[in-house]
Structure 1
Amino acid sequence: MRYTLRQLEVFLAIAQAGNLTRAATQLNMSQSAASSALKDLESQFDLLLFDRVGKRLQLSDRGQQLRPTAERLMAMADDLEQSLLNNTSAGPLDIGATLSIGNYLAVQMVARFKTLHPDSPITLDVENTEHIAERVLNFELDIGMIEGEFQHPQLDIRPWRQDEMTVFCSPDHPLAQAGKLTDEQLVATEWILRETGSGTRQAFDRAMSGLLPKMNIALELQHTEAIKRAVQANLGVGCLSLMTLQDELDSGRLVRLDVPGRDLTRTLYLILHKQKYHSMGIQAWISLCEEWSS
């Protein structure tokens, strides 16, 4: 064999970091050792894996082509090592989730995963749909859990579970006692919403189709808790996933509003890179997701 797993490890670390120094630090190697491993791999096969763009190393076209295969091979090697050690660990796992899922659902799932697989390291990154998808595409995350509809030819996008969006306001808001809201009332009120690019905003925009150009978006905030506080302060009306609002609705701090004729249901999705090897960790997480599918 004319290459080593260590050389592939260096190649993949640089591909993710975009920088030799950061990659070497992640691998606990000296910069010269990492550089030597990359040069040996390139010279052995007479190819250029990276284009040098200033101080950044950017994958070449050939490097882009080889990366998914190298990713799969390294993941398989990790699984083989666990099997040789007779280790029941599912292996390391990097999960990404959008804000509503990450803060109100995935944390409980991570706790359950750690109970089932106590020796398996797991990380959870919480960002909006576009960022999670980008990181899955870049092999920085093993699997993503997203709220928004997203299409990409390199992504395996799987419907996971249904979710319900809810329009809500402060108990002191004029609409709190309004009963069923009309389109005229929806247009007349001030709204406090998630930012464009988030799955929550995507679902809201779809539900309010036909009214959006006339609606008054007073505030766009990136965090669910910030939206809830702003609505509690009576700054406007919000729309978030029901799972993020249950405590406030049960305690009466927020009031749920009835919006007939507007479909506020949506589907949550799991996303994986189509060329990602399904390691023991990924398989274990997908099994857990199936248990939490309703």
Structure 2
Amino acid sequence: MDQHLIVFKEVAERKNFSRAAEALHMSQPAVSQYIASLEKELGVRLLERSNKFVELNKAGELVYQYAQEILRNYNQMQILVSDLKNDPSGELKIGASYTIGEYVLPRFLAKLQENYPNIIPAVSIGNTDDIGAKLVQHEIDIGLIEGNFTHHQVSIEQFATDEMYIIAGVGQSFKEEACISIKDLENETWIIREEGSGTRKMLEEFFQRSNFEPKRILTFGSTQTIKEGVESGLGISMLSNLTFTKERKLKKIQKLFVEGTPIERKFSIIKNYHEFQPKALEVFENLVKQST
């Protein structure tokens, strides 16, 4: 692999010759020499230098984009060649939306560790939009999401279904077995997830279908915080049945049978179209599909 591109990429990302040299275990003069040699070969200046930092100019931005792609392709080639002669191994970058990441993914990872101990998972948890964006930017290899994510370079395939219920604290004046109209909940405080969350999208679609608009909404950034708010009587919410099983057994949260619920949604695998698939990714994807 061309060391010039490796050095240039480090300098571009760290915006400093000394820090790039430290990361590469090289001397600063050696780093400077590589950059000068690359600029001479291309016949154009790539970096604007100051005493404290360096910045990419327009030519540098172009070279940086291609350098990223070239180095990524080279690494992918190494993995594929290794796959031909070895068992699945190496790092696998997995992204998962919150409900899946906190309540479903751990058992997938346990099976992966049991069957393929040489695969090292690196997990990112975020809302559905966050995971989709990470996949598009090649920050993860595969994503497991709630609901939908649409992008021209991303494929999506359902692997499981989930049911969502409206929930309340046990101290609130609802009878769990009674069927409730959504209109009966008009004056309740609704605790919902942040923008970009698959759970929030499903709840907003339910409101729209029901021609319903809550009078008071609180927005929380995690499922756990929402459950604690519901338990305390702060308000009601809609969450996946997977997320409050323990609290329901402990009689801290009750499931409300509201007209139009439960809402079924899909859990999906997302991948980049036309990307190479190392054995590690293939075995994890198959494990997910077979475990549901």
The alignment's TM-score, normalised by the length of structure 2, stands at 0.82
Name the amino acid aligned to 2:117: P
1:222-248 deviation per Cα after TM superposition (whole angstroms, max 9, x unaligned): 111111111010111111111111112
What CA distance in whole angstroms lies between the structure 1 residues aligned with 2:37 and 2:4? Answer: 8
Query: Are the counterparts in 1 of residues 165 and 262 from structure 2 also a CA contact under 8 Å?
Result: no
Structure 2, unpaired ranges of 5+:
none
Alignment of 1:20-99 (within 5 A): 24=20, 28-30=24-26, 32=28, 44=41, 60-61=61-62, 63-64=64-65, 67-68=68-69, 70-81=71-82, 83=84, 86-99=85-98
- State the match for 2:104 in structure 1: 105
Deviation for aligned residue 1:249: 1.9
Name the amino acid aligned to 1:243: L
Which moves more between the two structures, 33-42 or 231-240? 33-42
- State the match for 1:168 in structure 2: 167
Deviation for aligned residue 1:38: 6.2
1:242-289 deviation per Cα after TM superposition (whole angstroms, max 9, x unaligned): 111111223322111112225611111212222432112211211111
- State the match for 1:156 in structure 2: 155
Which moves more between the two structures, 282-291 or 37-46? 37-46
What CA distance in whole angstroms lies between the structure 2 residues aligned with 1:47 and 1:90? Answer: 41
Cα 1:123/1:37, change in 2 over 3 Å: farther
Query: Are the counterparts in 1 of residues 164 and 261 from structure 2 also a CA contact under 8 Å?
Result: no
Percentage identity across paired residues of the two chains: 24
Q: Secondary structure of the residue that 2:90 maps to in structure 1?
A: coil
Query: Are the counterparts in 1 of residues 176 and 257 from structure 2 also a CA contact under 8 Å?
Result: no
Alignment of 1:1-294 (within 5 A): 4=1, 6=3, 19=15, 24=20, 28-30=24-26, 32=28, 44=41, 60-61=61-62, 63-64=64-65, 67-68=68-69, 70-81=71-82, 83=84, 86-177=85-176, 179-210=178-209, 214-262=213-261, 264-292=263-291, 294=292
Q: Secondary structure of the residue that 2:111 maps to in structure 1?
A: helix
Query: Are the counterparts in 2 of residues 20 and 31 from structure 1 also a CA contact under 8 Å?
Result: no
Query: Are the counterparts in 2 of residues 9 and 74 from structure 1 also a CA contact under 8 Å?
Result: no
Deviation for aligned residue 1:74: 1.5
Q: Secondary structure of the residue that 1:195 maps to in structure 2?
A: coil
Cα 1:88/1:196, change in 2 over 3 Å: same
Query: Are the counterparts in 1 of residues 92 and 121 from structure 2 also a CA contact under 8 Å?
Result: yes
Deviation for aligned residue 1:181: 1.5
Larger radius of gyration: 2
Cα 1:107/1:61, change in 2 over 3 Å: same
Query: Are the counterparts in 1 of residues 182 and 212 from structure 2 also a CA contact under 8 Å?
Result: no
Q: Secondary structure of the residue that 1:184 maps to in structure 2?
A: helix
Q: Secondary structure of the residue that 1:150 maps to in structure 2?
A: coil
Report how many residues are paired: 286
The alignment's TM-score, normalised by the length of structure 1, stands at 0.81
Which moves more between the two structures, 140-149 or 24-33? 24-33
Deviation for aligned residue 1:94: 0.8
Cα 1:98/1:252, change in 2 over 3 Å: same
